[in-house]
Structure 1
Amino acid sequence: MPITPRFTKRKLVGLAAVSAVALGVAVPAASAAPSAPASKSTSAKPTVVLVHGAWADGSSFAPVTKLLQKHGYKVMNAPNPLRDLKTDAANVAAFVNQNTKGSVVLVGHSYGGSVITNAATKTPRVKALVYVNGYAPAKGESTYNLTGEKPGSLLANPHPETVFNFVQYPKGKGDVDTYVKPELFRKVFAARISNAKADVLAAAQQPLALSALKDTSGTPAWKKIKSFFLIGSHDKVLPPAQQLAMAKRAHGTVKRTGNDHLAMVEGPHTVATFIDKAARTK
């Protein structure tokens, strides 16, 4: 039933201007959804595997996880190291293949969408892909490229040092970790949350390797697996027009919401309901 460095400055400018496209941040526990969903179904349900975006951990989906578990779903958070697309996808694929049983619904937020697009080509039990304000690249496309194709992203900034903090990490071979400047979180990623909550999100960042945004996708899983796209109409990171274009070429099911980029924080009930819809699709 449904439920309700070594990089040059020029390279840094080119890459970092859109590095926040991958944002998916750790969040505190959310209150219960305002309306009660339907009762649990006794039928078998697929496992829901969640893949967070950059500067996050599994708690970015905590409010959604709570709702899905309440209504009978087994929910798991796959590891997403945020190092490079190939490695991140391989980690998710290994997790699904070795740590789940039966059918799986694979859910990716933002950069996590790029990850599931590649991971699911190696996970035969995945029955559906769900993109929550997520990237669904075609072969040869990168998260970086997709962000700039259509206007509307506040992170397409020619002066990345005004948007990001950079830390060159050990053995990074010239790569850098990226952190979004805390004062920008609320405006860009979730304008409908309080300043206090935005401050918590900013403090919980896990870094994204800058080079990951330039990594190009392999053959996309959405060519063979049913896909579902939850598109936030107020997303200021990944332009809604770009999300819709990706959904159309994937022949995906689309739902528009009034949320910003962090739909899981602003509208967990809507996100959980949409995942349930994907899980019930034959």
Structure 2
Amino acid sequence: MLNQGEPPSRRQVVGVLGAAAVASATASVPAAARPGRPAAVKPTVVLVHGAWADASCWQEVTRRLQCHGHPVLAAPNALRGLSADAADLNSFLAQRVTGPVILVGHSYGGAVVTNAVTPAVDVRALVYVDAFVPAQGETVLSLQGEGADPAALFDQVVHEQHGEQTVDLYIKPALFGDLFAGDLAPATARQLAAAQRPVALSALLEPSGPPAWRSLPSWYVLGTEDHILPPARQRSMARRARSRIIETAGSHLVMLSRPGVVVDAVLSAVRATA
């Protein structure tokens, strides 16, 4: 404290200036960044592809989410069996992710994320994209609809391993563009048809387990021009799961043709579960 008329000492001047500097620096730091107030951790968005696709189908969705500052992982999906694929995803989540997770599944990947949630991972929400959302005991093929004829839709490749036969299904190239990618450029559809990864028939026939959507909030991006998973069937599954439905004029590959819609749905899930 200075007495009136008394010249300040060097120590007093330094003390006053130091206090002013600390006060100024503290005022310039946002409240969330100050000690004792850690910034909220952004959830990791984990993207799970479906049959006849691979993780590259999420490239544009990934880019946009990363621009929003979210960590993103596009998980591999072996497409070999529903319980096995769900177990693989569980291992992936447990070993590669820390903190909260938003789990996103496309097509058959929707059935996988439905079966993959365990207490070991902090999954906050599910986002389905033109996806299968099975209840316990249902199969992906049964949810496709009674009018689906596998022989008319798929080319089959039978191979034997360890004494067991596996039937792999490929969408017939002549049908791929219309069924799967009707709103993409024809050249792009042909490239995707050539590179499609098969799904084991047994995976589509395996009954689903207890569904994660019974205990988690979910969002559903519904492509109204999807010709492989009928929109009416999608709407029915989404309503049963009490999902927030976002409809868009897109094909089965809506994450390629309408990536912004998918990103908006994911961001809505993030905000609602923060």
TM-score clears 0.5: yes
Q: Is residue 188 of structure 1 aligned with residue 179 of structure 2?
A: yes
Residue matched to 1:53: 50
Q: 1:104 aligns with which of 101, 106, 111?
A: 101
Given residue 80 of structure 2, which amino acid in structure 1 is its aligned partner?
R
Aligned twin of 2:25: none
For 1:86, the aligned partner's letter is: S
Tell me whether 1:134 sits opposite 2:131 in the alignment: yes
How many residues are aligned here?
A: 234
What is the aligned counterpart of 2:149 among 154, 157, 169? 157
Output one character per residue of 1:52-73: Cα deviation in whole Å (capped at 9) or x when no partner: 0012211011111111111101
Matched, 1:62 2:52: no
Mapped pair 1:266 → 2:257: yes
Q: Is residue 85 from structure 1 mapped to residue 44 from structure 2 by the alignment?
A: no
For residue 186 of structure 1, give the secondary structure of its aligned residue in structure 2.
helix
Please say if 1:247 is aligned against 2:238. Answer: yes
* In 1: Cα distance, 2:92 partner to 2:59 partner: 19
- Match of 2:194? 203
Mapped to 2, the partners of 1:199 and 1:260 lie a distance apart of 15
Name the structure 2 match of 1:279: 270
Q: Deviations over 1:150-190 (max 9, x none)?
A: x7xxxx136x1x43222112317222111112221111112
% identical equivalent positions: 48
- Residue 31 of structure 1 is matched in structure 2 by none
> Relative to 1, partners in 2 of residues 1:227 and 1:123: Cα closer, same or farther, differing over 3 Å?
farther
CA distance, structure 2, for counterparts of residue 228 and residue 121 of structure 1: 19
Match of 1:225 in 2: 216
TM-score by length of 1: 0.79
Amino acid in structure 2 at the alignment position of 1:90:
A
State the alpha-carbon separation in 1 of the partners of residues 120 and 142 from structure 2. 26
Counterpart Cα distance in 2 of 1:239 and 1:229: 14
Aligned-partner Cα distance in 2 for 1:143–1:157: 14
How far is the alpha carbon of 1:194 from its aligned partner?
1.2
Q: Following the alignment from structure 2 to structure 1, what is the Cα–Cα distance between the partners of residues 270 and 239?
A: 20
Ranges in structure 2 where 5+ consecutive residues have no aligned partner: 1-38
- For residues 204-246 of structure 1, give each alpha carbon's deviation from its aligned partner in whole angstroms, at most 9, with x where no partner exists: 1111111110101110000001111111111111111111111
Structure 1 pair 81–122 and aligned structure 2 pair: CA distance change class (3 A): farther
Cα drift, residue 43 of structure 1 = 4.8
Measure how far apart 1:91 and its partner are.
0.5
TM-score, with structure 2 as normaliser: 0.81
Matched-pair contact (CA < 8 Å) for 2:41–2:99: no
Amino acid in the other structure paired with 2:261? T
- The match for 1:168 is 158
Give the letter aligned to residue 50 of structure 2: G
Q: Which has the higher helix share?
A: 2
Q: Does the 8 A contact of 1:141 with 1:217 survive in 2? A: yes
**Structure 1: distance between partners of 2:119 and 2:193:** 34
For structure 1, which runs of at least 5 residues remain unmatched after alignment? Answer: 1-41
Segments ≥4 residues shifted beyond 4 Å: none
- CA displacement at 1:123 relative to structure 2: 4.7
Cα deviation code 1:21-80 (max 9, x no counterpart): xxxxxxxxxxxxxxxxxxxxx853100001000122110111111111111011101221
> Aligned AA for 1:117?
T
State the AA in 1 paired with 2:149. Answer: N
Is the contact made by 1:121 and 1:220 (CA closer than 8 Å) also made in structure 2? no
Conserved? CA contact 1:93–1:122, under 8 Å: no
